[in-house]
Structure 1
């Protein structure tokens, strides 16, 4: 992809605040509210649960630092698709892009849209049968908003990020200042004991809650001075999320006993809100989660179509001419945005998108690990980089080990899902071969 073409087409208008909001907004969805019980159950104690959130954050930070150095050398639209293409060749770049635009991206949008619709149905006491239609409406509205200039999508991302941080701040402040329980040394259940495998699963659960930070790389062609701002957005964004996750977890542990969190499951955060703010607390938390998920969907609708646009610009997809269309006034990839969101809307009403997105975890982490290894190749080539990862080679090794841990865990726990995800990626091979032949 020629950088000059990218500058002519897309609007390079995103600053540090917008980029930070995209990182934070695409990471913080509903996981921090609903993963507390799962992490605690796996870790068995509040001490190890806090350590698991910390370890997951540090692995994510190592991953972010590694990608930051690669991204600072390739500040173009497309993220992993561009990185793997330039490091390993067109075939691997194409598969990374195909995976994200046909399956992974749409299923994440569909799953989040369906979950947001479920919350809206409960909040407004609507018929449950309206959930699929409401999910489609949510996806369509956010897609329509992102057909405007990226400045509007970025502004919406900033607003929703601030909105989601307000209930998070309330949980932290109330929990740490007014909680009566000890956040440390609590045991979730009286039966069983902690095991290495259990602690590993706790870390795995936190890694899924931290995922999404890499999507800012898809916007490389729209960030001002991306060689400097992209690394800052990734590093500062992940750092803030790590701190937020640790403080929220400690705040909840200070108010809700570990044994009760175990019994409540994914309703532990709602119970916290009721204790802290009365019956209205649950409603307030739901509003915060609704805003949080809306911002998360917006971040994904902003970023995934950029991969499709970048691949179409390289004439690697069927109907590339149409998919590479930019509105002359708004300078946004309208057809790519509508295509990705149409696939997502279709999934929201026809399949279990949440399960489908789980099936893609293995392959997305496979491409993560390939990218992490790519940094060693770039270092051997002695390419100039505006950003250098600290503590090299230790930092990328930690990122690789974290990615391999996810891959091995998925192989052990969901072999059928792994094979299914590989099948979805393999569907792109004939498309690639046909385009190459042409």
Structure 2
């Protein structure tokens, strides 16, 4: 028998694991597949590069803001825990419900589909097997996370090391050997029908998303009050530098017309052009491992949130969900439920729609979390012994404005999709009322 009272999460993850989770979770499919999308929306390489930088600034200000909150509340659950502490149990539940029912499974599903596309292209597998390939990818990586957390943490570190190879190769080739000089160039056909800079930034934010997931491991880090802020800030800063350099390298190596024509295959086309067929294949393997590491980070993080909610009796079947496996000391049941939800989404939707809606809905709660820093400082005061956000209050204001900008642009571009994702979140209200009633009766 498993006893959740006796089995505890292992506090055995260091800064290298936390930093690897941030970098490994963030640097995945986005930077490799969104180059053409961002260019098409902006119409020129200069504006596309600016969109990547602004997306990074929005992400960094949000990370700095959350880092102070994380230092105050170093517990498992991350965003769910922060929302509950600042706004009360209802909003904490709703933010957790949003992540475990919509955001988390949608991100895992979309990334698995993107990875399956790359694997299919690499091995010349027919597109009719794409769904099966996506499912196999999810099952294999998910199975790793059913074991002790040291295995998934090891894979997170390994995938980060491996993904350095294709990224470094792309950057170095573009900077020193690229001769297209596409910086400043534009496509007239693109400019004629686009120009939504906000949608372009939204596209970059999908690539930057995932940094907050490390906060779900607050009870598994050795010194979370110090390590969480360090991992968030250093990790996001590294990602911004990498994304800017990769984008610059792509624009120096490939013409804007080629980027426009290649679409999601832009980076694959670049590495083949730069390093030949064999070199391109080897670097493609690195990219595949990179995205697999991103999926691993998300599967490692979201079930821990579901486990935290189950432990707090917030979800149906909380006894099973809020229980750790006695042998592996991992949230096995929560992991299985998360994978099941992701598989359902994968079968009935597509990667682009899932990723866009996932980013939108999480930013609704990001706005509330960022604003929460003002509430916490007023309520609890300023503790200078812990990390404090620099340039307060400017930094959280920029984070709030950036998140609001994302929400507005998604609403005006896809009202129907926004309504669907909103309804999925609101379905959590009757679940909350039912669970609250059951808990009250049991007490």
Structure 1 length-normalised TM: 0.94
How many Å apart are 1:43 and its aligned residue? 2.4
Question: Which deviates the most, 128-137 or 235-244?
Answer: 128-137
Cα deviation code 1:134-174 (max 9, x no counterpart): 22222122122112211111110011111112101000011
Task: Tell me what 2:267 maps to.
Answer: 269
1:370 aligned onto 2:402: no
Unaligned runs of 5+ in 1: none
Distance change in 2, residues 1:272/1:6 (3 Å): farther
Cα deviation code 1:80-110 (max 9, x no counterpart): 1000000000000101111111122112112
Q: Which runs of 4+ in 1 moved over 4 A?
A: 5-8
Task: Tell me what 2:163 maps to.
Answer: 164
**Structure 1 residue corresponding to 2:350, chosen from 311, 333, 352:** 352
8 Å Cα contact 1:6-1:76 kept in structure 2: no
8 Å Cα contact 1:24-1:161 kept in structure 2: yes
Distance change in 2, residues 1:36/1:352 (3 Å): closer
Structure 2 length-normalised TM: 0.93
* Cα distance in 1 between the residues matched to 2:208 and 2:95: 20
**Structure 1 residue corresponding to 2:246, chosen from 248, 252, 255:** 248
1:204-219 to structure 2, matched below 5 A, reads 204-219=202-217
1:321-336 to structure 2, matched below 5 A, reads 321-336=319-334
How many Å apart are 1:191 and its aligned residue? 6.9
How many Å apart are 1:264 and its aligned residue? 2.5
Question: Which deviates the most, 304-313 or 145-154?
Answer: 145-154
8 Å Cα contact 1:69-1:387 kept in structure 2: yes
Task: Tell me what 1:119 maps to.
Answer: 118
* DSSP 3-state at the match of 2:313: coil
How many Å apart are 1:111 and its aligned residue? 1.8
8 Å Cα contact 1:183-1:251 kept in structure 2: no
How many Å apart are 1:357 and its aligned residue? 4.1
How many Å apart are 1:220 and its aligned residue? 1.0
Task: Tell me what 2:143 maps to.
Answer: 144
* Cα distance in 2 between the residues matched to 1:344 and 1:194: 34
8 Å Cα contact 2:170-2:249 kept in structure 1: yes
How many Å apart are 1:208 and its aligned residue? 1.9
Task: Tell me what 1:418 maps to.
Answer: 418
8 Å Cα contact 2:17-2:157 kept in structure 1: yes
Question: Which deviates the most, 338-347 or 27-36?
Answer: 338-347
* Cα distance in 1 between the residues matched to 2:139 and 2:203: 30
Task: Tell me what 2:75 maps to.
Answer: 76
* DSSP 3-state at the match of 1:10: coil
Cα deviation code 1:17-69 (max 9, x no counterpart): 11111111111111111211222222222222222211111111000000000
Task: Tell me what 1:103 maps to.
Answer: 102
Task: Tell me what 1:29 maps to.
Answer: 28
How many Å apart are 1:114 and its aligned residue? 2.3
Distance change in 2, residues 1:298/1:308 (3 Å): same
Task: Tell me what 2:433 maps to.
Answer: 433
Distance change in 2, residues 1:212/1:175 (3 Å): same
**Structure 2 residue corresponding to 1:229, chosen from 227, 240, 243:** 227
Task: Tell me what 2:292 maps to.
Answer: 294
Task: Tell me what 1:129 maps to.
Answer: 128
Task: Tell me what 2:441 maps to.
Answer: none
* DSSP 3-state at the match of 1:9: coil
Unaligned runs of 5+ in 2: 439-443
* Cα distance in 2 between the residues matched to 1:291 and 1:191: 33
How many Å apart are 1:6 and its aligned residue? 9.6
Q: How many residues align?
A: 433
Question: Which deviates the most, 83-92 or 112-121?
Answer: 112-121
* DSSP 3-state at the match of 2:391: coil
* Cα distance in 2 between the residues matched to 1:227 and 1:149: 24
1:407 aligned onto 2:384: no
* DSSP 3-state at the match of 2:232: helix
* Cα distance in 1 between the residues matched to 2:48 and 2:257: 13
* Cα distance in 2 between the residues matched to 1:184 and 1:339: 46
**Structure 1 residue corresponding to 2:308, chosen from 288, 307, 310:** 310
Task: Tell me what 1:282 maps to.
Answer: 280
* Cα distance in 1 between the residues matched to 2:284 and 2:352: 20
How many Å apart are 1:245 and its aligned residue? 0.5
RMSD: 2.0
8 Å Cα contact 2:23-2:235 kept in structure 1: yes
8 Å Cα contact 1:40-1:188 kept in structure 2: no
